[in-house]
């Protein structure tokens, strides 16, 4: 049966740790990737902009001996109303896998249902599983087995990345504090999924509206943009989020050794100050680099199992 990666719960905790640990071994040259992608064609179907996800996937596919096709909605019959089922069934006859970035998560679920080849979520309005798989690798690379003991704080908008953090905490058994303003919290479906997984893995998920509480004595502070792709400019939302800016004052409540993460792109002056961003930029760009390493192992895993 084909293996999709539409949400993080499509892999179990053992598989998730296998991917994270193998990514480290491959990145550091201790293990080699298989040639499962050699000669395969993979399509990237994107209806939203992307820098990291697109380039890291295309480079990963090419370095693994495969071929990538970048497909934009406007150039496909999708833009003229061809439906998701027919697009999925057609592409499945040409390519061996499809990586999709799309606004609607339900559209992606429908696409995956009709596609007969593995489908990978490259971000939707609800989730960004490739980002979080890679972010947990970045943390594992730094903290090793202690990653389960550190305090991680997500501060800001309860968006797709925040939703996926909840599932990641459950899947990997992490300690996650999430601070979002009233009315801008994460999706309850993803919270439930994270909590259900935590019952098995020993993860802890704590939600608050108080950013200082989340950040207090934290080892890692993570943030993301306040307005995601597809969101309209919303002054009320921006005002509600101002106390959640990752700045020197907020970070003074964290451990002195705190690390700051950002999935990028950043809107400096909104969710993070330029000063804080630059201080942690080396770690943030290592986080971006790791998308490439993690996605190679993710694709190897999915295609070997499919």
- Catalytic center residues: 101, 128, 131, 224, 263, 291
Measured between alpha carbons, how far is 185 from 252 in angstroms, rounded to an integer?
Answer: 24
Q: Which is nearer to ligand NVA, 95 or 179 (CB)?
A: 179
Which of ligand CP, ligand NVA, none interacts with 51 (beta carbon under 5 to 8 A by kind)? ligand CP
Which of ligand NVA, ligand CP, none interacts with 243 (beta carbon under 5 to 8 A by kind)? none
Structure tokens belonging to residue 159: 């968006």
Q: How far is the CB of 105 from ligand NVA (least distance, A)?
A: 11
- Of residues 204 through 263, those in contact with ligand NVA by CB under 6 A are 224-225, 228-229, 263
Which of ligand NVA, ligand CP, none interacts with 155 (beta carbon under 5 to 8 A by kind)? none
Give the residue, chosen from 56, 92, 134, 159, that forms a contact with ligand NVA under the rule CB under 6 A.
Answer: 159
Q: Which is nearer to ligand CP, 52 or 296 (CB)?
A: 52
Which of ligand NVA, ligand CP, none interacts with 115 (beta carbon under 5 to 8 A by kind)? none
Exposed/middle/buried for residue 207 (C-beta within 10 Å: 0-12, 13-18, 19+): middle
Assess 300 for contact with ligand NVA (CB under 6 A): no
Q: How far is the CB of 222 from ligand NVA (least distance, A)?
A: 12
CA angle 272, 273, 275 (to 5 degrees): 130
DSSP string, the chain: ----BSSGGGS-HHHHHHHHHHHHHHHTTSS---STTTT-EEEEEESS--SHHHHHHHHHHHHTT-EEEEEEGGGSGGGGT--HHHHHHHHHHH-SEEEEE-S-HHHHHHHHHH-SS-EEE---SS--HHHHHHHHHHHHHHHGGGGGTSEEEEES--SHHHHHHHHHHHHHT-EEEEE--TT-PPPHHHHHHHHHHHHHH--EEEEES-HHHHHTT-SEEEE--SS-TTPPP-HHHHHHHGGG-B-HHHHTTS-TT-EEEE-S---BTTTB-HHHHHHTHHHHHHHHHHHHHHHHHHHHHHHHH-
Q: Which is nearer to ligand NVA, 225 or 302 (CB)?
A: 225
Q: Which is nearer to ligand CP, 212 or 229 (CB)?
A: 229
Nearest one of 260, 21, 271, 24 to 152, comparing CA atoms: 260
Measured between alpha carbons, how far is 251 from 267 in angstroms, rounded to an integer?
Answer: 18
Structure tokens belonging to residue 174: 């992490």
Q: How far is the CB of 35 from ligand CP (least distance, A)?
A: 27
Binding site for ligand CP (CB under 6 A): 50-53, 123, 131, 263-265
Question: Look-up: residue for tokens 């998920």?
Answer: 205
- Of residues 161 through 190, those in contact with ligand NVA by CB under 6 A are 161
Q: Which is nearer to ligand NVA, 121 or 159 (CB)?
A: 159
Which of ligand NVA, ligand CP, none interacts with 161 (beta carbon under 5 to 8 A by kind)? ligand NVA
Assess 104 for contact with ligand NVA (CB under 6 A): no
Which of these ranges, 19-27, 110-118, 157-165, 249-257, lies near ligand NVA under the rule CB under 6 A? 157-165
Q: How many residues bind ligand NVA (CB under 6 A)?
A: 9
Q: How far is the CB of 300 from ligand CP (least distance, A)?
A: 20
Q: How far is the CB of 266 from ligand NVA (least distance, A)?
A: 10
Residues making contact with ligand NVA (CB under 6 A)? 123, 159-161, 224-225, 228-229, 263
């Amino acid at each position: 049966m084909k293996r999709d990666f539409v949400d993080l719960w499509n892999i179990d905790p053992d598989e998730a740790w296998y991917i994270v640990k193998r990514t480290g071994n491959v990145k550091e040259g201790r293990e080699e990737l298989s040639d499962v992608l050699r000669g395969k064609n993979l399509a990237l179907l994107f209806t939203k902009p992307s820098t990291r996800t697109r380039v890291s996937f295309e480079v990963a596919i090419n370095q693994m001996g495969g071929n990538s096709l970048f497909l934009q909605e406007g150039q496909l019959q999708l833009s003229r109303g061809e439906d998701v089922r027919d697009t999925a069934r057609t592409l499945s006859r040409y390519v061996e896998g499809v990586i999709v970035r799309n606004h609607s998560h339900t559209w992606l679920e429908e696409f995956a249902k009709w596609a007969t080849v593995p489908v990978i979520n490259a971000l939707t309005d609800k989730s960004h599983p490739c980002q979080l798989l890679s972010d947990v690798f970045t943390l594992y690379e730094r903290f090793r087995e202690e990653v389960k003991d550190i305090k991680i704080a997500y501060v800001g908008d309860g968006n797709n990345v925040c939703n996926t953090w909840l599932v990641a905490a459950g899947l990997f058994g992490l300690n996650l504090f999430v601070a979002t303003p009233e009315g801008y919290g994460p999706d309850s479906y993803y919270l439930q999924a994270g909590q259900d997984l935590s019952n098995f893995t020993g993860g802890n998920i704590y939600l608050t509206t108080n950013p200082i509480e989340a950040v207090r004595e934290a080892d890692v502070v993570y943030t993301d943009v306040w307005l995601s792709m597809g969101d309209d400019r919303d002054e009320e939302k921006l005002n509600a989020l101002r106390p959640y800016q990752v700045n020197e004052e907020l970070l003074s409540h964290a451990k002195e050794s705190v690390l700051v993460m950002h999935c990028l792109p950043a809107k400096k002056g909104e969710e993070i100050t330029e000063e804080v961003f630059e201080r942690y930029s080396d770690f943030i760009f290592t986080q971006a680099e790791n998308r490439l390493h993690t996605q190679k192992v993710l694709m190897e895993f999915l295609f070997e199992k499919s």
